[in-house]
Amino acid sequence: MSVRLYRVNGSHPCATVEAALELKGISYRIVELIPPLHAPVMRVLFGRRTVPAMTIDGEKISGSRAILRRLDELVPEPALLPADADQRAAVLEAEAWGDEVLQPLVRRVLWPTFRAHPEAMASFQEGGKLPPLPLPVLRLIAPGATRLEMRMNGATDATYRADLRALLTLLDRIDGWIAAGVLGAASPNAADLQIAASLRLLMCLGDLRPLIEPRPAGALALKVFPSRAGDAPTGLIPADLLPA
């Protein structure tokens, strides 16, 4: 089986797919793209601007959820969805929420933070296949790149404030799923991979990590993704915007 993953280094949905590939023992090659230049390339190749996308023996698949379903079809074990119908429905609901609610929120928090502090982007380049950009170059391109990413992801100053205020409520929901057994089993399911990847990326922001790490949600993120690129110091997010 010839598998090629199109990714942006550090992308949380790309991390979801890579974790699924590793879990199933599937070998793959990486085609790495640079944000925001990935958007037009992906639209030409796959008909949509976002990563991740994948080719499997020439078959094109876009989006983390679609990719995980296909991987389960091709390599059924370990399964990413429970066999029990009710449990499966609960995992699919949590996975969809992670994809549609949590994942875009992370982008809307990250890009305004990078706009204000472009130096914070440097550590997020670690582990990439492409040479890292020097800090002076990052500072030079940051205004245009962050403005474009914010526009593509619907991020504004208003969403920044609202998303940060909503964070504790979202964490409560994730903790509830863990308590109910929807998340956090011995072998990660599709919802674990989807949600933990987003949480782990938020935990790379020093201002947010103390809010997440002590909770069951934080333990889940560290269990599924013990390490990842990105280590932004505290003090980047204004204190009055942080949830109390």
Which of 53, 74, 95 is at the close of a domain? 74
Whole-structure pTM value: 0.96
For the domain that residue 190 is a member of, what is the CATH number? 1.20.1050
Which of 40, 74, 108 is at the close of a domain? 74
Q: Are residues 48 and 90 in the same domain?
A: no
Is residue 79 included in any domain, yes or no?
no
Pair 138, 121: CB distance under 8 Å: yes
Instruction: Estimate the share of the chain in helix, then strand, then coil, as percent rounded to the nearest 5.
Output: 60, 10, 30
Which of 54, 74, 94 is at the close of a domain? 74
Number of domains the chain is built from? 2
Pair 118, 146: CB distance under 8 Å: yes
Total Cβ atoms within 10 A of residue 153:
19
Q: Are residues 161 and 48 in the same domain?
A: no
pLDDT value of position 59: 98
Q: Are residues 95 and 206 in the same domain?
A: yes
Phi, psi (rounded to 5 degrees) for 177: -65, -35
Q: Low-confidence residues of the chain, pLDDT below 70?
A: none
Q: Are residues 125 and 62 in the same domain?
A: no
Q: For residues 209-244, b (16+ Cβ closer than 10 Å) or e, as one string?
A: bebbeebbbbbbbbebbeebebebeeebbeeebeee
Is residue 104 included in any domain, yes or no?
yes
Is residue 207 included in any domain, yes or no?
yes
Is residue 198 included in any domain, yes or no?
yes
Q: Are residues 65 and 173 in the same domain?
A: no
What is Dmax (Cα atoms) for the chain? 53
Is residue 98 included in any domain, yes or no?
yes
For the domain that residue 23 is a member of, what is the CATH number? 3.40.30.10
Q: Are residues 102 and 38 in the same domain?
A: no
Is residue 153 included in any domain, yes or no?
yes
Is residue 80 included in any domain, yes or no?
no
Q: Are residues 7 and 123 in the same domain?
A: no
Distances (CA, A) of 188 to 10, 16, 81, 177, 179: 20, 11, 9, 13, 15
Q: Are residues 61 and 89 in the same domain?
A: no
Domain range for 191 is: 85-241
DSSP 59-123: EEEESHHHHHHHHHHHS-SS-SS-SSHHHHHHHHHHHHHIIIIIHHHHHHHHHHHHHH-GGGGGG
Q: Are residues 38 and 125 in the same domain?
A: no
Write out pLDDT tens, residues 53-90: 999 999 999 999 999 999 999 999 999 999 999 999 99
Is residue 43 included in any domain, yes or no?
yes
pLDDT value of position 244: 81
Q: Are residues 209 and 104 in the same domain?
A: yes
Q: Are residues 93 and 67 in the same domain?
A: no
Q: Are residues 156 and 234 in the same domain?
A: yes
Q: Residue 43 has which token pair?
A: 């639209």
